[in-house]
A and B are shown apart, each in its own frame.
Chain A
Amino acid sequence: MSTKARRRRINLKKWGFDALFFALSLLLFLFVFFHFAAFFTDSFDFIDKEWAALHMGKIALGCGGLVVFSAAASLLLYARKVATLGDYLFSSADRKQQIIEKSFIRSFYGIHLTLTFVASVFLSILATGASLYELTDPDGFQGAVNLFSGLLHANFNLLPTAIIEVIETIFIAFLATVIAIPISFVLSFLCAKNIMTHPLAFTFYAVMRTFLNLTRSVEPLIWAIIFSVWVGIGPFAGMLALLIHSVASLTKQYSEIVEDVSDGPIEGIRSTGANAVQTVWFAVVPQVVLPYIAFTIYRWDINVRMATVIGLVGGGGIGTLLIKYQGQGMWPEVGCIIIVIAAVVWLMDTASAYIREALR
């Protein structure tokens, strides 16, 4: 029974995948077709975002129709034993072997995949509005030349200010890292699968993991905007944004180290009659402390770079200084700031790599 059920599930997976992928590729092909049709008839611009936004319902219905059509089409292909991409990905091992034996470019899925890829690249170029003309436009090019020459002729009168601001940035990053360490340290054990084995603890683990993943998926830049509304624009908002992101990232990295510890010492310490706290302290902590330090230094390094970016939206420090001069088009001053940032990032990067190497 179980093999049959499994085969049916795999088939459903294959069918679902093929239906969606066919529909997607058909949609792309349609776009490409209409683009050329418009090019020749000059009747309408097919990438019309306003029109699309107004008729979203109809478009969704059309896409649904495409999926249904593709589902039917893939059934037809299965009946004729044509190797589709879904077939290639989700079939049984011997069927896969059969499919692989045929050359990629002669097989149906190979041609399908190649065409879809080409259509995607073509449409991406259209959507980005990438144009060789803009890139070689003399006026625009001259602007870029002016900018670069400004950057190259950096105004070093700004150097003292830039250094003071970059120190502020380093401190913002440092404080965020330092506050994040103890929080992440405690949370990492609560987010490690091998520690949270009790069913109740496992529920807590699952909730924490999801919560932290959600937190981590929000970019620090967004957190900076949230906190600058909350506590006002400035270094404090930037620090809080980095702190939130650091806690989420460090906890994940720390807990993966905890999940990697070997069980032998844990069993050894438990066998002496040690309690849970003692077991963690004597059997787990010695195994994790060096990788913890390595990850922490790396996090500080990342935080310095992020603090610069966060400064652009008002998180204080060198980033805020940069956006101020950039807004006024004062390129020699911007050049000086960029040199300071590059120097600090390079220094932090080298130092942290060196220390992490030494800790190994």
Chain B
Amino acid sequence: MSSGQQPIISVRNLTKTYDNGVTALKGVSFDVYPGEFLVIIGLSGSGKSTLLRCLNRLHDPTSGEIIFDGQHVEKVEGRRILDLRKNVAMIFQHFNLIPRHSVLSNVLMGRLGSIGTFSSLLSLFSSEDKKKAREYLRLVGIEAKAQIRADQLSGGQQQRVAIARALTQNPKVLLADEPVASLDPATCHVVMDYLRKVNQELGITMICNLHFLSLVRQYATRVIAMKGGEIVYQGKPSDIDQAWFEKIYGEGAKEVHVN
């Protein structure tokens, strides 16, 4: 995005070493600008998932700074971590829905951070919340399935439910951790199209981990490539050529097209 804009997230020298001694991030710095569709690519184990989970504090970074909305994400504690997660929603490779609950109930769980513990335990969601939940289900095109159990949907449909759940949080940023990695190529595009819709129509900033370069070219407004816990490329998706590709994925790697 344009350089004159104020970043919505700033990451500086972020490192993460797990308790078992594995260093997943080795000093990562980048900015995310409002409204962009930032894609992070890299091999499994390159640190992309860890990076996303540091941004909403599902993991605690070891050192470095993350500034979101003027506050130091790495320093927030207790109640304010929950507020952070409300604003920085996330979807996952394996959707992470509650299998035995209905689609609507799953979507309403996006409100858990905003309502009281007691009323949430009794599932006392306001009619306002329910209306919103249905609205977002319509946005991702599965309003008709609202009463069906989540585990009876296909993978692509489950991921759309997960998007709807994230949207009911009213987030400023949506993190997507390999959202299409366990889907077939056709479904893949459906889900990516909905993510673009969310990004463009609702103006939610998107940070998305992906495997396939062809998807990156199609959807990303900017791309970051990671290798071994470090950023090896930042720029336009169209600038990634064969040389860069080999640098990221290793010598002799061939691009696989998803169409």
The interface of chain A, by Cβ under 8 A from chain B, is 264-265, 267-275, 277-278, 281-283, 286-287
Most buried by B among A264, A274, A281, A283: A274
CB distance from A258 to the nearest CB of B (A): 15
B117 touches A271 (CB 8 A): no
Q: Does B25 contact A (CB under 8 A)?
A: no
Is A278's CB under 8 angstroms from B169's CB? no
Which A-B residue pairs are the 6 nearest by beta carbons?
A: A273-B113, A268-B96, A273-B86, A274-B112, A273-B85, A271-B90
- Say how far B231's CB is from chain A's closest CB, in angstroms: 24
User: In the complex, are the beta carbons of A264 and B113 less than 8 A apart?
Assistant: no
Instruction: List the B residue with the shortest CB-CB distance to A278.
Output: B112
| C-alpha spacing A269/B120, complex, angstroms | 13
A265 to B254, CA, bound (A): 35
Closest to A284 in B: B98
Q: Are B109 and A269 in contact (CB under 8 A)?
A: yes
Contact A272 B56, beta carbon cutoff 8 Å: no
Give the complex CA separation of A282 and B58 in angstroms: 17
Using A265-B99, A267-B58, A286-B98 as known contacts, say yes or no to A272 and B109 having CB atoms under 8 A apart.
yes
CB within 8 Å of A: which B30-70 residues: 56, 58
Alpha-carbon distance between A267 and B97 when the two chains are bound, in angstroms: 9
User: Are B85 and A278 interface neighbours, CB within 8 A?
Assistant: no
The reply on B135 being an interface residue by CB < 8 A is no
For B83, list chain A residues within 8 Å (CB).
273
- In the complex, whether B162 has a CB less than 8 A from a CB of chain A is yes
Interface string of B87-121 (1 = CB under 8 A from A): 00110101111111100000001111110010011
**Besides the known contacts A267-B96, A268-B97, A286-B98, 16 further A-B residue pairs in the complex with CB atoms under 8 A apart:** A267-B92, A268-B92, A268-B95, A269-B109, A271-B85, A272-B166, A273-B82, A273-B112, A274-B113, A275-B82, A275-B117, A277-B121, A278-B121, A282-B101, A283-B98, A287-B100
Cα-based distance from A281 to B89 in the complex (angstroms)? 20
In the complex, what residue of chain A is closest to B175 when comparing beta carbons? Answer: A271
Q: How far is the CA of A359 from the CA of B52 in the complex (A)?
A: 38
Instruction: Write 28 A-B pairs (CB below 8 A) sorted by A numbering.
Output: A264-B92, A265-B98, A267-B92, A268-B92, A268-B98, A268-B162, A270-B58, A270-B85, A271-B85, A271-B89, A272-B86, A272-B165, A273-B83, A273-B114, A274-B82, A274-B109, A274-B113, A275-B112, A277-B117, A278-B112, A278-B117, A282-B101, A282-B109, A282-B120, A286-B98, A286-B99, A287-B99, A287-B100
Neighbour of B112 across the interface among A264, A265, A272, A287, CB < 8 A: A272
A272 and B169 in contact, given A265-B99, A267-B92, A267-B96 (Cβ under 8 angstroms) = yes
Interface residues in B160-182 (C-beta closer than 8 Å to A):
162, 165-166, 169
For the complex, give the distance between the alpha carbons of A287 and B101 in Å.
Answer: 10
Closest approach, in angstroms, between the C-beta of A273 and any C-beta of chain B? 3
Residue of A nearest to B85 (CB): A273
Is the Cβ of B92 less than 8 Å from the Cβ of A272?
A: no
Assuming the A-B contacts A264-B94, A265-B96, A265-B97, are A272 and B113 also in contact, with contact meaning beta carbons closer than 8 angstroms in the complex? yes
Provided the pairs A271-B85, A278-B112, A278-B120 are in contact, do residues A286 and B169 lie with their beta carbons within 8 angstroms? no
Other-chain residue from B84, B92, B121 in contact with A281 (beta carbon distance below 8 A):
B121
Chain B residues positioned under 8 Å from A287 (CB to CB): 99-100
Give complex CA distance A275, B82 in Å. Answer: 7
A-chain residues with CB within 8 Å of residue B100 when the two chains form the complex: 286-287
- The reply to whether B169 and A273 form a contact with Cβ atoms under 8 Å apart is yes
Question: Which chain A residues border B56 with CB–CB below 8 Å?
Answer: 271
Minimum CB–CB distance from B11 to chain A (whole Å) comes to 19
